[in-house]
Structure 1
Amino acid sequence: MEILARMKTILSILWKVLSTTRVVIANIFFLVMVIILLGVFFTDTEESLRQNSVLLVNPAGTLVEQRSAPEAAEALLKKMGRETARADETKTQDVIDAIRKAATDPKILALVIDSRDLQGCDTTKILDIGKAILDFKETGKPVLAHSMVYTQGQYLLSSYADTISVNPLGGVLITGFGMYQTYFKGLLDKTRINFHVFRVGDYKTAVEPFVRESMSEEAREAGREWLNGLWQAYLDEASKNRGVSPSDIVSYVENIDTRLAATGGDAARLAVNAQLVDEIKTSTQFDQLLAGKTGKRIEDLHRVGFQDYLAMSPSAEPSGKEVIGIIRARGAILPGKQPENRTGSESIAELFQKARQDPTILAVVLRLDSPGGSAAASEEIHHEIARTQEAGKPVVVSMGSVAASGAYWIASGANRIVAAPTTLTGSIGIFAAFPTFEDTAMNLGITTDGIGTTGLADLGNPLRPLSAQSERAIGQLLRFGYDLFINRVASGRRLPAAEVESSAQGRVFLGREAHGRKLIDQLGNLDDALRTAASLAGLTVVNSKELRREPSPHEKILQAFFSSAQVLFTQQSPAVSRLLNMVETQAQVLESFADPNHIYARSMECEGSLF
């Protein structure tokens, strides 16, 4: 009895310890949440810009049309003096807005391009930023760039500087563009998963990763054409900025090994010899160079990042009562409501509804940066464009880096389509894809049997094979969807269906060729689209405001908390970050096949394949 009493006492104490620990952990979690929310909603982050400031153009992560979620907690920790993790996305328009403001700001003496944390090479977005930098240079203020190493995208952005310097142990790494997809046929064969694929369009190669182990000749032909065009655009811009010929840059890339041997492996000296950079300087020497260019002492200069600069000088509300509404659609097109990095049919529909109900909005510019997605969701957004036009408000589509397949389906309904010369668009085609696991299950000793009232009763059961009748029916559905796609384009572009068909079959085009094929109306950027929309609405002054989905209170709390967790606990090298981004991209591609009808207008070759 005494032993039992002691055990009971011990267990009672243990239970109290566990209970107390649980309460303490819960209270700590609650306290963290309260601190975060207080910081998010009540912390005063206003700072004034000091004299003799230098604008730091320091984009981090990938350039995007719209960030996935606000990084309120990151701003809070910065205010508290904590070191924050690098952002994984930078909104391109934020960079452009900061540069434009700085051009006329007497407190900003110069612009420094610090591209070290920029990932990838989104040529279209970098060209848009570059245009703003060129306008900045017209003011006579100096623009300088400095880095340890310049990767391809980092170098294109930095090429707009008056002076480029590199660290003595650095260099310039330009590789050209490539399209390398991951193929799953071998895995599907080994696991005996039957992936059923249907497509309309000889060049609709989005499904190839599931049915092939390598790239088809059609994919090679189409990919080579637009890759070469994109590479030429890169060469033309970088060489023009640096005063060299495109062939000089090509020679630098193609003979990098022998040229490095000639300099004894000194990549920085090689970059100077090739006139890709101007000088070799340490960080301290670069500070001295910057001081000399501005005529100020080093200690008198104050660097301010573009995000902080925007926070110090928030945008004023449009002075006029009549504006152009901007709706941004980023990422795969999916049904329903989706977060900022997806184009949800309901999410976009709500924004169009806001535009129709707002009497101050006379026209809408839909900024598309999407490889396509659900055919049904694309048709729903296409319908929202028509409803907005019926309400007397013209719609202009501005294409970003990519607006292909389902995104082009959407765009075809606009009054005007504006695309950059380097935009990837077209891909007019459609496909269906879904797996069944009857052979996989049988291999594991699992079988299925039963009865149904019709031959279609087992349709949708992943452990049942797809019947010939179902295959024929899906083929007919796909043909109907493809014909509807062609008709939507023919009607919207006022072209004969036969002419649209000649540009269809799933082929991808750069904006310049799409213009020649009458798939778009003009070459230009978002500013050009806004001017076009203003003209259609009868406005002489271009004022605009962005329409953005308001996150729910629940989403705000989750965004704040998980943002803080990332800031506090996530520190990773650029190489690891890039690998994780590659894995995430592949996961998102698979995850985004969420159309209940399994019918897609999507161009997978346009996403996550450029390095």
Structure 2
Amino acid sequence: MKTFFKLLRAMFLGLGVSFFILLVMAALVVQQHLQASSKKEELPKNITLSLTLSQPMVETVPSLVRSIAGDSAPPSLQEWIAGLELASKDEKISAVYIRAVGGSVTLTQAEELRASMANVRSAGKPVIFFADTFGEMDNGTAMTYLASAADKIILQPGGFAGFTGIGMQQPFLRDFLNRNGILPEFEKRRDYKTAMDNLTETGMTPENRAEMTRLITHLSDNVMMSVAKDRKMDLTQLAKLRDAAPLPAALAGKLIDEVKYEDEITFPAETVSLLDYFANLSTPKFIETAPKIALVDAEGMIVRGTGQSGGPLTEKMIGAEDFAALLKELQDNKDISAVIIRLNSPGGSAIASETIYRAMENLKNSGKPVIISMTDTAASGGYYMAAPATKILALPSTLTGSIGVIVGKVSMGGLSQQYGVNWEEITAGKNAAMFGTGRGFNESERAAVAQSADAVYDTFKSRVAASRKLSPDVVEAIAQGQVWTGTEAKEKGLVDEIGGLIEAIGAARTALGLEKDAVVVLLPYPDENNPFLFIQLLLKQMAVLNHTSFMNMIWDKILAEMHVRTLQMQPVQLQY
């Protein structure tokens, strides 16, 4: 038997060594691929730049993934923005052609791209937009919002104009939980902090309904006014089309210009894909001496410890330990002149947010400008970590604010009893078992939870007041868990400027005392072009999968929701 176990151990050890060798070989192959990908093919002197949206738009595609996957990895939002900005300046590009054939965009992504499309049109270059449909049994409002910024909109025969407007749905589980002996108990600060209302309530509270109505109205008004202006309609005309949608192409009216197949479209010049265009670009020599700006991607829930970069079985998370270390690295790096952080987070751990807040504050106080560029969401803990920045930018449809806190748990004692499971407890401390899931809070524990919520809320507000130079009374008025659109947040003093990545780069230039069009170099962090980093992330993910089964991962996520001390915005299904 001992011999068997020795052989088994040797076999696994051999497999581990072989796997490591394979990984090293993969790294070398990747490095060779990166070098080979630098070869360029000469483009025609006059081109139509073609951009295809066939999958949901993502913020970034790691350069290593781009090098391996090539065209099969669709261009990211940042690549689209870069391509459109170059198109507005490159004399070789005479027109831009955008194809929407299965992908999707969020409202804020549409807003950034609309701004860049406007720059192309201002340069006297037409923007042509083709879609096979604007929605197929789903909402096509965001895609229509994007398309309306083009000179011409072409819809494929059989397609629909699904400009149905903006709405939301939210489930409430309290009756279901009561029937099954599950007790959600949360202290919230204050009434607009509705992140757990779907568990604690049977329907919308007056505060929740008032806030969601205001947000939907603001988002809708912004889209409606923009589309009406672009398509040269009055709001009454547009509202009639919206309320009749989804409409077949023949009834789409001014929402489109032409109905034809893609192979019937003619272009001013030969079409060249965005990635082929990028592959042909040369790097100017003077780039080496230009100021370097770190471009940091911060996306996902904010958690203590290490985060997650995202993958097939994992969501992106902002880990306080990793992110604070990255900010310290940028603070100490003498080659980095400024930092732009692209932030998309609904919040998360209050402690983790405080850790990142301090690192952000230290980075700014070191003399390096820190520019926050909010995308879809930067709410609750997401706003907490952003507050100390030199300048905060948001898009009109960004959801931010949510200055508040929720503390509590979900107890399962009633459910356990239904299945014959009884809980006993022994403690050496009055509140030692207060966050256990076998029972609800007692009176003294509930008082301790309330005290904890008050402390976190007061700290959060004080950080915002100090960073944004606002009085405590002003902060309390705009706090209470209230969520604001980017436009509203600017009016409230929570945001400095409305804009996206291009405006954030401009803000960094201004903070550095550079000219408006000064050349700067954007360096993505971390260095995703390093094949060994890619392997490190792969091994980390494999270790997670090896440590626990898929069902255990699901259960861990459920348990995490039961022990909550969080700064998080409520989960709703926003439809556009």
**TM-score exceeds 0.5:** yes
1:554-573 equivalent positions in 2, closer than 5 A: 556-557=534-535
Correspondence 1:270 to 2:251: yes
Correspondence 1:335 to 2:304: yes
Distance apart, 1:331 and its partner CA: 1.8
Match of 1:193 in 2: 182
Match of 2:76 in 1: 91
Match of 2:293 in 1: 324
Task: Indicate which of 525, 543, 549 corresponds to 2:526.
Answer: 549
Correspondence 1:523 to 2:493: no
Is the Cα–Cα contact under 8 Å of residues 115 and 157 in structure 1 kept in the other structure? no
Is the Cα–Cα contact under 8 Å of residues 430 and 602 in structure 1 kept in the other structure? yes
Distance apart, 1:172 and its partner CA: 1.0
1:471-490 equivalent positions in 2, closer than 5 A: 471-490=446-465
Aligned amino acid, residue 420 of structure 1: L
SS in 1 for 2:410: strand
Match of 1:111 in 2: 96
CA RMSD in angstroms, aligned pairs only = 3.4
Aligned amino acid, residue 565 of structure 2: I
User: Take 1:184 and 1:32, find their aligned partners in 2: how far apart are those partners?
Assistant: 49
Correspondence 1:40 to 2:23: no
Change (3 A) 1:68 1:503: farther
Change (3 A) 1:558 1:55: farther
Match of 2:86 in 1: 101
Distance apart, 1:454 and its partner CA: 2.7
Is the Cα–Cα contact under 8 Å of residues 192 and 440 in structure 1 kept in the other structure? yes
Identity, in percent, stands at 26
Distance apart, 1:73 and its partner CA: 8.2
Match of 2:547 in 1: none
Is the Cα–Cα contact under 8 Å of residues 531 and 542 in structure 1 kept in the other structure? no
Aligned amino acid, residue 329 of structure 1: A
SS in 2 for 1:149: coil
Is the Cα–Cα contact under 8 Å of residues 59 and 95 in structure 1 kept in the other structure? no
User: Take 2:533 and 2:78, find their aligned partners in 1: how far apart are those partners?
Assistant: 24
Any idea what the Cα deviations from partners look like across 1:524-571, whole Å, max 9, x if unmatched? 3333333333333333336242341246967624878999xxxxxxxx
Aligned amino acid, residue 309 of structure 1: Y
Change (3 A) 1:158 1:468: same
1:252-263 equivalent positions in 2, closer than 5 A: 252-256=241-245
User: Take 2:238 and 2:49, find their aligned partners in 1: how far apart are those partners?
Assistant: 29
Distance apart, 1:450 and its partner CA: 4.3
User: Take 2:374 and 2:118, find their aligned partners in 1: how far apart are those partners?
Assistant: 22
Correspondence 1:434 to 2:409: yes
Distance apart, 1:112 and its partner CA: 0.9
Match of 2:132 in 1: 148
Aligned amino acid, residue 56 of structure 2: T
Correspondence 1:454 to 2:468: no
Match of 1:211 in 2: 200
User: Take 1:226 and 1:49, find their aligned partners in 2: how far apart are those partners?
Assistant: 49
Correspondence 1:125 to 2:109: yes
TM norm structure 1: 0.78
Aligned amino acid, residue 50 of structure 1: L
Change (3 A) 1:395 1:30: closer
Any idea what the Cα deviations from partners look like across 1:494-534, whole Å, max 9, x if unmatched? 11101110111111111222222222222233333333333
Match of 1:310 in 2: 278
Any idea what the Cα deviations from partners look like across 1:312-335, whole Å, max 9, x if unmatched? 437668454433333221122112
Match of 1:344 in 2: 319
Change (3 A) 1:206 1:67: farther
User: Take 2:202 and 2:41, find their aligned partners in 1: how far apart are those partners?
Assistant: 58
Aligned amino acid, residue 609 of structure 1: L
Correspondence 1:601 to 2:567: yes
Is the Cα–Cα contact under 8 Å of residues 437 and 562 in structure 2 kept in the other structure? no
Distance apart, 1:91 and its partner CA: 2.8
Task: Indicate which of 532, 536, 547 corresponds to 2:507.
Answer: 532
User: Take 1:141 and 1:449, find their aligned partners in 2: how far apart are those partners?
Assistant: 73
SS in 1 for 2:254: coil
Is the Cα–Cα contact under 8 Å of residues 50 and 97 in structure 2 kept in the other structure? yes
Correspondence 1:496 to 2:460: no
User: Take 1:53 and 1:225, find their aligned partners in 2: how far apart are those partners?
Assistant: 45
Is the Cα–Cα contact under 8 Å of residues 427 and 507 in structure 1 kept in the other structure? yes
Is the Cα–Cα contact under 8 Å of residues 377 and 398 in structure 2 kept in the other structure? yes
Give the stretch that moved more between structures: 221-230 or 101-110. Answer: 101-110
Task: Indicate which of 483, 493, 502 corresponds to 1:508.
Answer: 483
Distance apart, 1:99 and its partner CA: 1.6
Is the Cα–Cα contact under 8 Å of residues 43 and 280 in structure 2 kept in the other structure? no
User: Take 1:163 and 1:518, find their aligned partners in 2: how far apart are those partners?
Assistant: 38
Task: Indicate which of 61, 65, 73 corresponds to 1:71.
Answer: 65
TM norm structure 2: 0.83
Any idea what the Cα deviations from partners look like across 1:193-225, whole Å, max 9, x if unmatched? 222212111111111111123222211110111
Q: Which consecutive residues of structure 1, in runs of 5 or more, have no partner in the other structure? A: 1-21, 79-83, 261-266, 564-586
Is the Cα–Cα contact under 8 Å of residues 186 and 407 in structure 2 kept in the other structure? yes
User: Take 2:365 and 2:227, find their aligned partners in 1: how far apart are those partners?
Assistant: 44
Is the Cα–Cα contact under 8 Å of residues 87 and 93 in structure 2 kept in the other structure? yes
Distance apart, 1:49 and its partner CA: 4.8
Match of 2:158 in 1: 169
Give the stretch that moved more between structures: 213-222 or 480-489. Answer: 213-222
User: Take 1:146 and 1:484, find their aligned partners in 2: how far apart are those partners?
Assistant: 50
Distance apart, 1:351 and its partner CA: 2.2
Change (3 A) 1:152 1:593: farther
Distance apart, 1:139 and its partner CA: 3.2
Is the Cα–Cα contact under 8 Å of residues 27 and 532 in structure 2 kept in the other structure? no
SS in 1 for 2:133: strand
Task: Indicate which of 358, 374, 391 corresponds to 2:333.
Answer: 358
Is the Cα–Cα contact under 8 Å of residues 370 and 404 in structure 1 kept in the other structure? yes
Is the Cα–Cα contact under 8 Å of residues 333 and 342 in structure 1 kept in the other structure? yes
Change (3 A) 1:467 1:307: farther
Match of 1:15 in 2: none
Match of 1:578 in 2: none
Give the stretch that moved more between structures: 478-487 or 432-441. Answer: 432-441
Is the Cα–Cα contact under 8 Å of residues 393 and 495 in structure 2 kept in the other structure? yes
Aligned amino acid, residue 477 of structure 2: S
Distance apart, 1:373 and its partner CA: 1.3
Aligned amino acid, residue 93 of structure 1: Q
Any idea what the Cα deviations from partners look like across 1:358-384, whole Å, max 9, x if unmatched? 213233232222111111111111101
Is the Cα–Cα contact under 8 Å of residues 185 and 440 in structure 2 kept in the other structure? no
